Structures are given as structure tokens and as C-alpha cells.
Amino acid sequence: MDDIAEIIRRLGNGEIDVLTALAQASQGNGFTDIGVARVDHSRRERCGFPEFIYGANKTTAQICLIIQELISSGQPVLVTRIKPESAEIVCAEFPRAEYDAEAATLSIRLDEPPEPKGRVLVVTAGTSDLPVAREAAAVLSLCDIGVEILNDTGVAGLHRIIAETGRLRSADAVIVVAGMEGALPSVVGGMVKCPVIAVPTSVGYGAALNGFSALLGMLNSCASGLTVVNIDNGFGAGCAAVRILNGMIK
């Protein structure tokens, strides 16, 4: 606090400008520079979830360094889009690590998980969408949100999703993961009053355009109020659901 007071005093006297004051106030406050990354220690307080590690394009050594810093500061760990060969090395280095090959996620909990708060239902149109759904579920689980996956309920057999009306309506939020034409979120959006987060996937033949058709279909949904995240972004959908439930459940 003394350092902050001195920065404010110098700013008030015109000795430094606003940008310099902000830079000095940030040093040593909330993050640690470990060379390969600046690890954010205050993200949970600011955003409601800890810093996660995007594993793609990072070396195994970089991932291990970031994990060690997170653990040292008492934070849980979630690595997304991690390669199997990297996951194998990380699991050997950190025996408490749990690797989900289908979701391409790796998690480390430091404590026993508390009683989950809330309930998010993650719905897939087809089994091919399951890896993205499991990525969303990994985020929710690490943030101590209750999560359940409802698989293979796409519009090609509409009776499958209608049969789950009770489960859908009892959820605090629903994440709907779909490829092809991306129609399922519109159906679910017309069935429930809770927040619905739509995730387009790159599942489908040529005109699916690697998920763009599903993305555009979801953005143009006639079920008002859908939240739509990026293609294959189960991680983003999970974070969106955490933010929503943090605002609902204290």
C-alpha cells in the first residue's frame, strides 16, 4: 500500500504520467513474469475463474513452467488443446494431473473439490461433437460448477431432445454443441428459459465449411437471446457459463 500511495503522490505532483503510474502499480501486483509467460494470479478475483493454459503451440517445457507457477501460487490447473505427447510428459512430472485425451485437456486439482454449485447441461447434436463438449465440461468442473453431458440429441431425430425436456428445464444454463447446419441451439432455445450458449463445431461435409455454416446458422437463430461462441470453442462456452452462474449463484 505504501508503494501505491507513493505512485499516487508522484502522479498528483505531475512527476509521472498516467501510463507510467499504471505500469508501476501493476508491477508485482497480480502476476509473475517467469520469462515464457506472465502468470496471472488475480484472474479468479477479477473474472470468477482462474487463469487457464492454452496448450497449442506451447512447448512441453513452457507448459510445465507455467503449471509449476500456478501450483506454487495455490491455483488449480487446466491446460486445453494439449498434445498427447506433451500430456504424457506433464503427467509424469505432476502425478496429480488428469488427462482427458478426447477433450485434449489436462487438469490438476490441489484440494478436494467442494460441493458443486449450480448445474449446467452440455448438449451435443452428435457424438462427433463430444470432444468440444468435454472441453466445456472440463472448464466447468474445475470451476466447481455442476455439469452433465447429454450426448447425441440432434435434429435428425427430434424426439431425442424432446424426451429430455425435463433435464433441459431443470438446468441453470445449457451449452449446445453442434456442427453440420447448427440447428440444435435454436430448438433448445425455444424450449428453455435459462441462458443457452451455442457452440458451432467443424463437423460436417463440404458446405459445412469447417464450422462456418453452423456458426452463421447460430448467429441467425430465431430463438432470441442465444449466446454464440467461436467454432470448436468449448473452452469459451465453459467460461461464459461460469460467468453467468457466478452472477446467479452467490
What pLDDT score does 174 carry? 97
**Residue 204 burial by Cβ neighbours in a 10 Å radius (0-12, 13-18, 19+):** buried
What pLDDT score does 98 carry? 93
DSSP H or E stretch at residue 58: none
Spell out the alpha helix ranges (H) of 94-222.
130-142, 159-162, 165-169, 184-189, 212-219
What pLDDT score does 41 carry? 75
What pLDDT score does 221 carry? 94
Domain-wise residue ranges, the chain: 1-32, 34-112, 117-248
What pLDDT score does 33 carry? 73
What pLDDT score does 191 carry? 95
CATH class of 117-248: alpha beta
- Spatial distance between the Cα atoms of 167 and 3, rounded to a whole number of angstroms: 53
Query: Which regions of the chain are under pLDDT 50?
Result: 1
What pLDDT score does 116 carry? 87
pLDDT tens string 41-77: 778 777 778 889 999 999 999 999 999 988 888 889 9
What pLDDT score does 24 carry? 63
What pLDDT score does 201 carry? 97
| Helix axes of 234-248 and 130-142: crossing angle, nearest 10 degrees | 40
For 74, the 3-state DSSP assignment is coil
